[in-house]
Amino acid sequence: MVCEGCRTSARGLLRSALRAAAPTTRGTSPAIRSMLRSAMHQQQTAGTVRQFSNSSARSLLGSSFRDSYRVVGVSERLFKVCAKQADYKITEEQRKQDQVKKMEDGEEVGEPTVSESVWHTKFNLPPTFSTWSHVTMLHLYLLNARVRCFEREEYRNWTQQLVDHFFFECEKKMHIDHHITSSALRQRYLKDIFVQWRGLILAYDEGLIKGDAILASAVWRNLFKGDPEVDPRSLVAIVGWMRASLASLESTSDAMFPQQAADILERPVDVFWTRLEEPFKKHGTGEPANAAQAAAKAAAEKRA
């Protein structure tokens, strides 16, 4: 049984607890009332902070986490648009039957995955890893030039994600299409490609600032490997396409950029080639000629 003294102590503690829980503080000393108000304020504040259901995702995870996950998905979708323009493949059947063709420098040649790709047909670029990587980097450069208009952290996030997608796909192609099983060898190649990427950005930036001739020279050195047999119309068409694409990307708002960038990058490059030939089709069989030759031909026809 409980003694009378314990009962008295228990009743006293119960009364104290009831008084502390009561909404009024009448009959207590100023010091105790102050302590009670402070304790109730801390309890209310703690209760508000711990109500996660009333908190937004921005306050829970932070805007940087939310934006990072958003950029991962959008940048991957845009990268796929860039990567498919000059994509190729080398099948296991071709490799087993020793049917994989090679360039003079030993680079393996695959089969285009996009039928009638302008980069392979109109510009006569072989479906190789070098062509694919430089065409992809050319498209990535256009995106990189646009995202420079973002805030610093958002720009860094975008560029990092685009570069990560690109180098992941590079290593995947090395391993699957070209059977480069050595991880150390793949990493060495990736370092070389990264150096090319940094140099390509500087070269194209210089061309945008100094003029179309410098930009065409940068395209000729990187995309066409300085081939002296390149048709000059190819360079003119690509430079015109780059300028038009950059102007369209610049005209998009930051909010609409992820939705509109894919359509801009997929615009046909050979349209600019066609425009070069249109003036000459009126004076003959469509073969390019200068203005003097066209005028002389028209005068001869008139005399006849």
What pLDDT digit, counting tens, does each position of 166-205 carry?
999 999 999 999 999 999 999 999 999 999 999 999 999 9
Q: Which domain holds residue 159?
A: 72-281
Angle at 202 between CA 200 and CA 206, to 5 degrees: 115
Q: Is 43 exposed, middle or buried (0-12, 13-18, 19+ CB in 10 A)?
A: exposed
- Angle, helices 129-147/232-251, rounded to nearest 10 degrees: 30
Quote the CA–CA distance of 282 and 169 in Å, as a whole number. Answer: 46
Quote the CA–CA distance of 219 and 204 in Å, as a whole number. Answer: 8
Quote the CA–CA distance of 302 and 304 in Å, as a whole number. Answer: 5
Residue 108 forms part of a structural domain: yes
Two tokens at 240?
A: 């015109």
Q: Residue 116 — φ and ψ, nearest 5°?
A: 55, 40
Residue 42 forms part of a structural domain: no
Quote the CA–CA distance of 87 and 110 in Å, as a whole number. Answer: 9
CB of 108 within 8 A of CB of 101?
Answer: yes
* pLDDT tens figures, 197-237: 999 999 999 999 999 999 999 999 999 999 999 999 999 99
Average pLDDT, rounded, for the chain = 80
Q: Into how many domains does the chain fold?
A: 1
Helix (H, G, I), strand (E, B) or coil at 54: helix
DSSP 268: -
Q: Which residues of 133-171 are buried (b: 16+ CB within 10 A; e: fewer)?
A: bbbbbbbbbbbbbbbeeeeeebeebbbebbbebbeebbb
Q: Could you read off the pLDDT tens digit of each residue along the chain, which spans 304 residues?
A: 555 665 566 566 556 555 554 544 455 455 555 554 555 555 454 444 433 333 333 333 344 545 678 889 999 999 999 999 999 999 888 888 888 999 988 899 999 998 889 999 999 999 999 999 999 999 999 999 999 999 999 999 999 999 999 999 999 999 999 999 999 999 999 999 999 999 999 999 999 999 999 999 999 999 999 999 999 999 999 999 999 999 999 999 998 998 999 999 999 898 887 766 666 565 555 444 444 444 445 444 544 4
CB of 53 within 8 A of CB of 37?
Answer: no
Residue 11 forms part of a structural domain: no
DSSP 107: -
Residue 17 forms part of a structural domain: no
Residue 154 forms part of a structural domain: yes
Q: Choose among 127, 84, 122: nearest CA to 103.
A: 127
